[in-house]
Chain A
Amino acid sequence: MIGMTMLDLRPRVAATTILERRELADGVVLLTLHAPEVADATQPGQYLMAIPPSGEAAATALAVYEAEGKRASILFFVTGKRTRELASLACGDRLDVVGPLGNGFDCSGDARDVAIVAGGVGIASVWLCARELLRRGAHVRLFYGARTAELLVDAQRFADAGCELVLATNDGTRGERGFVTDALARSRKPETIYACGPSPMLRRIGEIANGFGVRAQLSLEETFGCGVGGCWGCVVPLTNASAQAPKFPPAQRGGSDVVYARICKEGPVFWAHELRW
């Protein structure tokens, strides 16, 4: 884990009930769950596995968006069969989840000027992170990009909480036209960067952070198998020197110092400068 804690954060299987279902945009669904144990244990950047009520597909990994009191929420784009099934749930329905899982963002530093970068549904991973950084007194700039204005869901919510917004859309319908990473590259150098979004965006953020000479924490997205570290299906190449690297002997092929780390177990958040992707 990037951050350290002494609380009992053991993940569990939790039977939750859906308290609220909102469609924030076409195909963007927010489910608020009655899930006291999950809400209590969740750290910023952690995720859960939603067990499909039909039992007809693998569980789906979803960032815990909000965690407050007895409530935790998940925010997702409907992209396929599994998210379609979750989107079809209604208030009062039961949803079993496994979580919270993974090693999230380390929000413990003393950085005063931080940038959070979110691409699309990546916004779901950074709300708890933003709130924690604001609580610690940091100035938080949220660089938030999406395909089109409608998909910049909940941007106002981050602004209301105290974030300075820098928005971008691919079609220019809101904020700058183009990629939000371009806005980040041109902006004032932050002390540190937190990010979640598609892999090409995260790679670019790694380069930008390197150019700034600052560190970045990236929350990676990948197809998960088990979601708990048992199958080694969701991996990313990481330097053997990383504290998060699985404890393997140096690889034999060509003296490589790279080892595949599990995004679900060692991650999903990694230091950009330690990735070898």
Chain B
Amino acid sequence: MGARTAVVNPQPALAIKLGKLELAYPTLMGSGCYGSGEEFAPFADLSKIGAIVLKSVTRLPRLGNPTPRLVHTPAGMLNAIGLQNPGIEWYLEHELHKYGGRPCKIVGSVAGFEIDDYAYVCERLAARDEIEAIELNVSCPNVAREGETFGCDPDLTARVVEAARATTNKTLIVKLSPNVTDIVAIARQAENSGADALAVINTVRGMAIDVETWRPRLGNITGGLSGPAIRPIAVLAVYEIAQAVSIPIVGQGGIETLTDALEFFLAGATAISIGTANFTDPRIPERLVAELQAYLTRRNVGSIQEIVSRAHVEIATAHQYEGDEG
């Protein structure tokens, strides 16, 4: 009994890597959902999360969308914030220095409307020591006929990623849109163009209408749906992309509980991102890490990496049996 106990790792490793980015925990806080982290610091232990992905920044300042910007919907919410941000110059001068010295890693997020914008903002942001990696937001659904164009077109995605890649050696994460016919093709293009990791998925386009006023409930008319309502869509996207690429995936879309998180790892995610769940309870990220530890210990699994893509193995095994019997 004693010998057996000694073999079991009492603290299964939750550390993971996304390209060069090394994280103590496989949890990222989704862009636009967690501010810069300082907003949540009074309620959440930032030393128990892997990384914060900052709100997207653009080349020029953006006012953001008209109000209302949020609507609660069944099992989720619609948002249309519209990339409100002060623009990269102001951001670098007045904001970013405050984000250094956090007990977790900081990932910058870049959005844009021209390929040059992405390259310019990416280069400026990645040059700063506070920033350990860059997420390319090619998939914001709330900037009319502009931003999502990139993430919905494999060739444009490739050009954005190539342009950004040329500006930095830091880890480049490309955040993909689910609002496409073939997300796998876009994932492949992103990988071939130099992405180090993929964030799967951004919000799903949606709409809600007020039946008393007969008007859309969002100032922007349309929005992006997040929360548990989109989780199965996201799990499938991770599952299919994991079969097509060899770079790590950050799975995201309505993760609230241990079960939700495990689904994404089993589908092929190396890490998970938590967004809307922070609006329910800011203690969820810390709780998830503790529960992941306990789960791996209970299942006698040495590290989180051992269960990544495990559903693919189980499916392959099942098919093998069918073939044998047939």
Contact = CB atoms under 8 A, between A and B. Distances in A.
B64 A265 contact: no
Interface string A85-119: 00000000000101000000000000000000000
B34 A230 contact: yes
A143 B262 CA distance: 54
A234 B69 contact: yes
B279 A251 contact: no
B72 interface: yes
A247 B94 contact: yes
Interface in A232-250: 232-237, 247-250
B68 A232 contact: no
A24 interface: no
Interface in A35-78: 51-52, 55, 57-59
A265 B79 contact: no
Contacts of A10: 42
Interface stretch (A161-169, A206-214, A254-262): A254-262
A235 B77 contact: no
Interface stretch (A130-138, A186-194, A218-226): A218-226
B48 to A, nearest CB: 14
Nearest to A224: B70
Contacts of A237: 67
A25 B43 CA distance: 34
Given A58-B279, A232-B55, A235-B84, 8 more contacts: A55-B256, A57-B72, A96-B281, A223-B70, A232-B32, A233-B69, A235-B64, A260-B67
A225 B61 contact: no
B63 A251 contact: yes
B325 to A, nearest CB: 42
Contacts of A231: 32-33, 35, 70, 79, 81, 279
A258 to B, nearest CB: 7
A235 B79 CA distance: 12
A51 to B, nearest CB: 5
A265 B70 CA distance: 16
A111 to B, nearest CB: 31
30 contacts: A11-B43, A13-B282, A55-B257, A57-B72, A58-B279, A59-B279, A223-B70, A223-B72, A225-B70, A225-B279, A226-B33, A226-B34, A227-B279, A228-B40, A228-B43, A229-B39, A230-B33, A230-B34, A230-B40, A231-B32, A231-B35, A231-B70, A231-B79, A231-B279, A233-B69, A235-B84, A252-B61, A252-B62, A252-B63, A252-B87
Contacts of B62: 252
Given A58-B72, A231-B32, A52 B280 contact: yes
B222 interface: no
B278 interface: yes
A223 B90 contact: no
A98 B43 contact: yes
B270 interface: no
Residue with the greatest number of chain B CB neighbours at <10 A, chosen from A52, A248, A252, A256: A248
Contacts of A258: 63
A254 B77 CA distance: 31
Contact of A260 (B55, B63, B281): B63
Contact of B77 (A12, A58, A232, A252): A58
Contacts of B280: 51-52, 55, 57-59
B12 interface: no
Interface string B46-57: 000000000100
Contacts of B39: 226, 228-230, 265
Contacts of B84: 232, 235, 260
Contacts of B60: 252
Residue with the greatest number of chain B CB neighbours at <10 A, chosen from A11, A223, A228, A250: A228
A-B pairs with the 8 shortest C-beta distances? A230-B35, A233-B70, A230-B39, A229-B39, A248-B86, A58-B279, A226-B279, A223-B70
